[in-house]
């Protein structure tokens, strides 16, 4: 067995992304890893419920030997064996982000020798995490362009505080992960607004949100389409999603309602993020750049894209990737152009 790689969880942004990227790479490379100071830069350091669920999920997928896997733990040793696809169900007992757990296990499942079906319960539309709609409309279509086949289904919505949402993914092994080349996003072709609310809340909320978006983005009225969705969940919830389709790229912007937050503010949150993206030459929004960088490092061939901002999440992610593999990644700070020399990890190598 190779020696453990030591990862300091307090470096860079010091959050859960360090844990997820470290365990994903450990699983793919069968490389034991030891993490210390997990989530040291957060108000409540250590493993929260959703992080622990991710650790245990990857341990199950890789038959890993694990030490320190308990709530609030700040140290973890993880020694994976072979990746096994199949049918899995992972439950987060709180409104912890199902999307984060999905992001943690997806790299391993893409490089499994057989197809997988994975069901995850928890929060599907919660703060500080990509909502289901972003995964479905932006992240996974980008992965598809790189050669990955993943279908994602929203079985039940999950809002804070009860959670209880459910997503289900069907993942096929990716035999040829290819680099992505996006130097121009092209013209904006369409804007799709989805305004969603649970039956617990007054109907006028989504109508006010649609009106606010139409007012705020009046310059785009010819291509802006709106829809209302009734979402059933255990907790009251409200959510808006603005999907921007360009000739060569896609981007998504959201607003999440909460008690005391006016509907107009929820809608404007998404509009403001879209306008800021439009003012740049970016081909990927900053969230997608952070999510996709691992896949470009593993892909065959070079990748390049322009991000609207080189966030601390992105830079920390790159630092963690370099702890595991030798990969050329360059970021032009003036233009936001990110260039990655892929290392060509194929499915056979991972198993």
Domains within the chain, CATH numbers bracketed: 5-182 (3.65.10.20), 188-278 (3.30.360.20)
Bridge partners for 307 per DSSP: 284
For 226-241, how does the pLDDT look when each residue is reduced to its tens digit (9 = 90+)?
999 989 999 999 999 9
Q: Is pLDDT above 80 for 348?
A: no
Give the catalytic positions in this structure. Answer: 313
Mean of all residue pLDDT scores within the chain: 96
- Strands lying side by side in the sheet with 181-182: 181-182, 302-306, 337-341, 328-331
**How far is Cα 348 from Cα 351, in angstroms, rounded to an integer?**
5
Contact 267, 304 (CB under 8 A): no
Mean pLDDT of 169-193: 97
**How far is Cα 124 from Cα 141, in angstroms, rounded to an integer?**
19
For 151-164, how does the pLDDT look when each residue is reduced to its tens digit (9 = 90+)?
999 999 999 999 99
In this prediction the pTM is 0.95
Contact 46, 74 (CB under 8 A): yes
The tokens for 219 are 């310059």
Q: Is pLDDT above 90 for 126?
A: yes
């Amino acid at each position: 067995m190779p020696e453990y790689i030591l990862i300091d969880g307090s470096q860079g942004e010091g959050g859960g992304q360090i844990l997820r990227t470290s365990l994903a790479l450990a699983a793919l490379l069968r490389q034991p890893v030891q993490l210390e100071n997990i989530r040291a830069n957060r108000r409540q350091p250590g493993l929260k419920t959703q992080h622990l669920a991710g650790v245990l999920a990857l341990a199950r997928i890789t038959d890993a030997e694990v030490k320190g896997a308990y709530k609030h733990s700040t140290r973890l040793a993880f020694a994976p064996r072979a990746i096994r696809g199949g049918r899995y169900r992972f439950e987060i007992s709180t409104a912890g982000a199902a999307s984060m757990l999905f992001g943690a296990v997806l790299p391993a499942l893409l490089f499994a020798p057989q197809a997988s079906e994975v069901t995850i319960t928890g929060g599907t539309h919660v703060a500080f995490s990509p909502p289901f709609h972003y995964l479905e409309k932006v992240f996974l279509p980008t992965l598809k362009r790189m050669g990955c086949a993943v279908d994602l289904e929203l079985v039940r919505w999950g809002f804070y505080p009860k959670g209880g949402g459910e997503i289900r993914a069907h993942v096929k092994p990716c035999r040829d992960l290819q680099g992505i080349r996006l130097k121009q996003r092209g013209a904006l072709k369409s804007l799709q607004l989805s305004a969603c609310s649970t039956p617990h809340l007054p109907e006028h909320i989504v109508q006010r949100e649609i009106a606010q978006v139409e007012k705020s983005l009046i310059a785009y009225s010819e291509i802006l389409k709106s829809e209302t969705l009734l979402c059933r969940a255990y907790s009251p919830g409200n959510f808006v999603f603005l999907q921007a389709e360009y000739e060569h790229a896609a981007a998504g912007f959201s607003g999440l309602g909460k008690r005391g937050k006016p509907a107009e503010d929820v809608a404007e949150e998404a509009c403001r993020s879209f306008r800021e993206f439009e003012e740049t030459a970016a081909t990927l929004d900053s969230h997608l750049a952070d999510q996709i960088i691992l896949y470009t490092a593993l892909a065959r061939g070079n990748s390049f894209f322009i991000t609207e901002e080189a966030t601390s999440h992105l830079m920390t992610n790159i630092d963690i990737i370099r702890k595991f593999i030798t990969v050329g990644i360059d970021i032009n700070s003036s233009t936001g152009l990110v260039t990655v020399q892929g290392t060509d990890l194929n499915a056979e190598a991972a198993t």
